[in-house]
Amino acid sequence: MRKLGIVLAAGQGKRMKSKLYKVLHPVCGKPMVGHVLDVLDAVRVDRKVVIVGHGAEEVKAYLGERAEFALQAEQLGTGHAVLMAKPLFEQEDGITVVICGDTPLIRPDSLEAMIRLHQEQGAAATLMSANLNDPRGYGRIVRNEQGHVVSIVEQKDCSTDQDAIREINAGTYCFDNRKLFAALAKVTNDNAQKEYYFTDVVGILREQGETVLAYCTNDESEWIGVNDRVALSEAEKYMRDRINRGHMMNGVTIVDPVNTYIEKDVAIGADTVLHPGTVLRGNTAIGEDCSIGPNCELTDTVVGARVHIKHSILSEAEVGDGSSVGPFAYLRPGAKLAGNVKIGDFVEIKNAFLDEGAKVSHLSYIGDAQVGKNVNIGCGAITVNYDGFNKNKTVIGDDAFVGSNVNLIAPVTIGKGAFLVAGSTITNDVADNDVAIARERQTNKEGYAEKLRAKFKAAKQNKSST
């Protein structure tokens, strides 16, 4: 049966007290509405429409072609919001899922189970519910003897018996699409707020003799809707725990899950160990048998197998099998390491390729460069890639040796097997197997150190006397 999805994302979210539109606030690195669309994709929803209002252009820009959009220009209630999808969906047959854009913790398995219950029982509507130890403030689910939903009663309207009910409305629904829009046409705004309440649809369908069911989720986090920064932090905690558990069940060792932060789309291979303080963002992918951390931050970075990284930051970088990075290294966008490359402490790599077996062990900057196989770059060496106007490239051939504190003034090419003497400033190309030295000849002045000390002492005395 065809599946449709309506995502409610038109509210301003005033309680967030933010310039950022509510559903675009991230949870584990992804905007909340992005998580919701992921769930709808996972249960194979054929068409999705996002109801937008405040911040409409920002939401559209983020989601792009992942969904269709309908504008709720006036905020006249949740029923009115769903009604904005009518021009797109009213002629469709199938099941329509209605879900809020600020509920990032809904699981695909739960939504799939709710849809399956809806289909098997031939219901007109099925809603998701949850049992809370303290349900105060939430609408209660009232069932009849058959377990069908009779009504949703808000806290302020509960009788004594209804107030004792622990099952609450989690705010996610599925409907027979035709019956949904037929019932919506009968919803009125005859209430103190003069709004069209979507929950009134349940009562209308019951009055028509239709079957209304509830699927009770066993995960208390799924019902959380994010309306303020406190709820945002709670959602982040639940999502992070869920992500970490998933990786651990797939064979990843996380030494301290409380202090390990992994975003939703990160992939990690089996037998990799994550040490405390590890932060993995974006589309980072890590291979098997790696050791990451402590205190590493990787963003949109691809890491091969058997890689060791500690106390380092990598962004839009690639690290080949068997390589090591850190401590205290910084791999910037465009840094690409082949296999068995060593990047040591306080080394920065930017827009550079280092081939198999290359080593940059400490205190160096390599930018806009191509470094060959088995090249050794000594302490303090740098590629001088920017002349104040343009970025220029340095090319270093296989098996070359770059001594400590060498400046490579780009554009420059160093041949295979070349040897650059420590302290040199290289401005011209060096041919294969040549030795290059570019520094002032040393001059020693015999006994002159005593004269210098006397001179400095006299100058200091003259200054103090004045």
Residue in 35, 80, 275, 362 annotated catalytic = 362
Return all residues near 394 (Cβ < 8 A) that are at least 6 apart. Answer: 366, 368, 369, 370, 383, 385, 408, 410, 411, 412, 413, 414
Q: Report the distance separating Cα 423 and Cα 260, nearest Å.
A: 42
Q: Whole-model pTM?
A: 0.90
Alpha-carbon gap, residue 170 to 35, rounded angstroms? 17
Q: How far is the first Cα of the chain from the last one, in angstroms, to the nearest whole number?
A: 97
Tell the residue number behind the tokens 């106390």, with chain if given: 311
Alpha helix segments (H runs only) across 135-199: 160-163, 177-184
What are the residue boundaries of the structural domains of the chain, listed by start? 3-217, 251-436
Rounded Cα distance, 338 and 412, in Å? 22
Torsion angle of the four alpha carbons 406, 410, 413, 414, in this order, in degrees rounded to the nearest 10: 0
Could you confirm whether 362 is annotated as catalytic? yes
pLDDT at residue 466, rounded to an integer: 67
DSSP for 281-347, written as a single string: ETT-EE-TT-EE-SS-EEES-EE-SS-EE-S-EEES-EE-TT-EE-SS-EE-TT-EE-TT-EEEET-
pLDDT for position 433: 97
Fold of 3-217: Spore Coat Polysaccharide Biosynthesis Protein SpsA; Chain A (3.90.550)
Half-sphere exposure of 3 (CA within 13 A, CB side): 20
Instruction: Tell me: is residue 139 an annotated ligand-binding position.
Output: yes
Is 9 annotated as a binding-site member? yes
Distance of alpha carbon 138 from alpha carbon 155, whole angstroms: 6
Q: Report the CATH number of the 251-436 domain.
A: 2.160.10.10
- Residue 169, annotated as binding a ligand: yes
Angle at CA of residue 60, ends 111 and 180, nearest 5°: 40
Q: Digits of tens for pLDDT over the chain (466 positions)?
A: 899 999 999 988 889 999 999 999 999 999 999 999 999 999 999 999 999 998 899 999 999 999 999 999 988 999 999 999 999 999 999 999 999 999 999 999 999 999 999 999 999 999 999 988 888 878 889 999 888 998 888 878 888 888 899 999 899 999 999 999 999 999 998 877 788 889 889 989 999 999 999 999 988 789 888 999 999 999 999 999 999 999 999 999 999 999 999 999 999 999 999 999 999 999 999 999 999 999 999 999 999 999 999 999 999 999 999 999 999 999 999 999 999 999 999 999 999 999 999 999 999 999 999 999 999 999 999 999 998 899 999 999 999 999 999 999 999 999 999 999 999 999 999 999 999 999 888 889 998 998 888 988 888 888 777 6
Residue 156: its pLDDT value, please? 80
User: In whole angstroms, what is the distance from residue 366 CA to residue 375 CA?
Assistant: 13
pLDDT at 24: 96
The answer to whether residues 94 and 115 touch, using CB atoms and an 8 Å cutoff, is: no
Assess whether the previous peptide bond of 327 is cis (omega < 30° from 0).
Answer: yes
**Is 424 labelled a binding residue?**
no
**Residue 11 marked as a ligand binder:** yes
